[in-house]
């Protein structure tokens, strides 16, 4: 018990020293912060609400229609034949009189195949990458 009193004094001294160092650090922190005088009037806080985006109407331009004659003229021969077959199948199913479709053999376009162009295009498309 004799050593109890000096131990309490040492522990108390250490606690006092820690507290005094803490107070000094707080004072240094207050000096670092800029001093602003307290205002007597309450400050008004304005909330800025985002403005809704303005949606501008868009104008759509009409697409000009291709005349049927020009459309049929530019159609490939295979497509014409496929349409004719489909039309004849529909006519058979409904048992109506088939329409007579005439194609001028002079105006009939045939699909031509050029082997030389095909080889050149294949070489362009399948180039060896080095």
- pLDDT one-digit tens code per residue, 3-16: 888 889 999 999 99
Query: Tens digit of pLDDT for each residue in 17-28?
Result: 999 999 999 999
pLDDT score at 71? 63
Q: What average pLDDT score do residues 49-68 get?
A: 78
Q: What is the mean pLDDT of the chain?
A: 78
0.75 exceeded by pTM: no
Q: Looking at the predicted structure, is the pLDDT value of residue 103 above 60?
A: yes
Q: What average pLDDT score do residues 84-98 get?
A: 74
Q: What average pLDDT score do residues 109-116 get?
A: 78
pLDDT band at 61 (very low <50, low <70, confident <90, very high): confident
Q: What average pLDDT score do residues 78-85 get?
A: 82
Q: How many CB atoms lie within 10 A of CB 111?
A: 7
Q: What average pLDDT score do residues 62-89 get?
A: 76
pLDDT band at 72 (very low <50, low <70, confident <90, very high): low
Alpha helices for the chain (secondary structure H)? 4-32, 68-73, 77-94, 115-125
Alpha helices for 33-127 (secondary structure H)? 68-73, 77-94, 115-125
Query: How far is 88 from 99, CA to CA, in rounded Å?
Result: 8
Instruction: Enter the DSSP assignment of 40.
Output: S
Q: What value, to the nearest 5°, has the Cα angle with vertex 124 and ends 123 and 125? A: 95
């Amino acid at each position: 018990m004799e050593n109890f009193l000096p131990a309490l004094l040492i522990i108390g001294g250490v606690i006092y020293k820690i507290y005094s160092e803490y107070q000094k650090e707080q004072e240094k922190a207050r000096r670092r912060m800029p001093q602003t005088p307290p205002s007597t009037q309450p400050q008004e806080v304005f909330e800025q609400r985002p403005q809704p985006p303005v949606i501008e109407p868009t104008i759509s331009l009409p697409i000009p229609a291709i005349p049927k004659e020009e459309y049929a003229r530019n159609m490939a021969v295979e497509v014409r034949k496929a349409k004719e077959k489909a039309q004849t199948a529909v006519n058979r199913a409904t048992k109506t009189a088939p329409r007579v479709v005439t194609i001028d053999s002079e105006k009939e376009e045939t699909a031509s195949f050029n082997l030389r162009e095909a080889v050149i295009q294949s070489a362009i498309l399948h180039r060896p990458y080095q």
